Structure 1
Amino acid sequence: MSDIIHTDKAPSPVGAYPHARRVGNLLFLSGIGPRTPGSDAIPGNEYDTDGRLVGYDIAAQTRSVFANVRAVLEASGARWEDLVDVTVYLTDMARDFKTYNALWAEHFPDPATAPCRTTLGIDALPTPIAIELKCIAHLP
């Protein structure tokens, strides 16, 4: 038995997949980025006059991706504190890890209750974003 979760409070998936799927007491979130729900704008992105990406703000994108994850969790009946495992994808590990890590510590101040985490440096994501999270939560 599994439940499929979609919410308009998070950005639409960029493919044919749900925001999340609940299987038993586990909730598996699809990769979630920082796009703004409804508009798909990417917080912190800067474009030149030809529409090419010329810069981004990893802090703005990190805050946005955390808000989007929270929205999917809440739509699923879960809470931020229910996260047990997070995989983080950064497109520029050398530039962005320190800022990302500091914001992680703000959102999870106690390592004893924080979810497990793996952070990967990757070449690109499907939209012009610098961060994406893949999460698993445990539900009562």
Structure 2
Amino acid sequence: MFPNGKSFLLDPEKRAGPTRYSHARVVEPAMHHTIYVSGIAAVASDGTYEGVVENPDGSFTVDVRHQTAAILHRIDSIIQGASNGKANLYNIVDSTVYILDMKTQYADMNKEWNKIWTDRASAPSRATIGVNELPDPRFAVEIKATAIFEA
């Protein structure tokens, strides 16, 4: 059993394709704590925007892979801090990814996601939603998550 419960796959023998996520996570009715992580974007604690290159003319370019990696790292730190080191990214049961451009950014976001969860059996359930905008124009991705850990 994984720290985020048991994976449920509708067609476990079917090839997973490029995306790794469980269709559902089943958490046994044991004593556990739940951590609800707010939507996290790629802003460092010093206020700088990770994965963003500011151009002299005021425009900017966004590196979706860099932003996704930074967000997942930040979520890991949040979960570890909130659990006093008892949990990490692998305790995530459910997540929602908000992304600006599914056609051009989804594959890069997914590559970073798949670096963390290398198989469907350990990956959390996930919804990826294309949105028109995020709170800052320099954000291409925002992720929220729910994690569990034993009491």
1:75 equivalent in alignment to 2:103: no
1:134 is aligned to 144
The alignment partner of 1:124 has SS state of coil
Residue 47 (structure 1) aligned to one of 54, 58, 65: 54
The alignment partner of 1:25 has SS state of strand
Following superposition, the deviation at residue 41 of structure 1 comes to 1.2
Matches within 5 A, 1:65-104: 65-77=71-83, 78-104=87-113
RMSD, aligned CA: 1.3
Following superposition, the deviation at residue 48 of structure 1 comes to 2.9
Following superposition, the deviation at residue 52 of structure 1 comes to 3.1
TM-score, normalised with respect to structure 2: 0.71
User: Which letter maps to 1:61?
Assistant: Q
Unpaired segments ≥5 residues, structure 1:
1-23
Tell me the number of residue pairs that the alignment of Structure 1 and Structure 2 aligns: 115
State, as a whole percentage, how many aligned pairs show the same letter. 28
CA distance in 1, matches of 2:39, 2:50: 17
Q: Deviations along 1:80-125, whole A, 9 cap, x unmatched? A: 1110001000011111111111111111002111100000010111
The alignment partner of 1:135 has SS state of strand
Larger radius of gyration: 2
